Structure 1
Amino acid sequence: MNLSNILKTAIRSGNVMYAERIMHDAKTMPAKQFIL
């Protein structure tokens, strides 16, 4: 699962705050931190 899939899942489940936190973290951390 990559970053965009995580965001889509969070938004689809209505967890917008979680998606916003991931987007914020994505700007401050290497992208590979989000590869699960």
Structure 2
Amino acid sequence: MNAHTGFIIFARKVAEGTIALKRRRRPSKGAYGTADEE
């Protein structure tokens, strides 16, 4: 499934007349604190 998703993203990137997708990154593990901190 990863290869198929990669192909779709690549195909959208090189297609004419499309707007490039914004890159999204997951926040780091320490970005929001833990549930124990109250």
TM-score (norm 2): 0.41
TM-score, scaled to structure 1: 0.43
- Structure number with the bigger relative contact order (C-alpha 8 A, sep ≥ 6) is 1
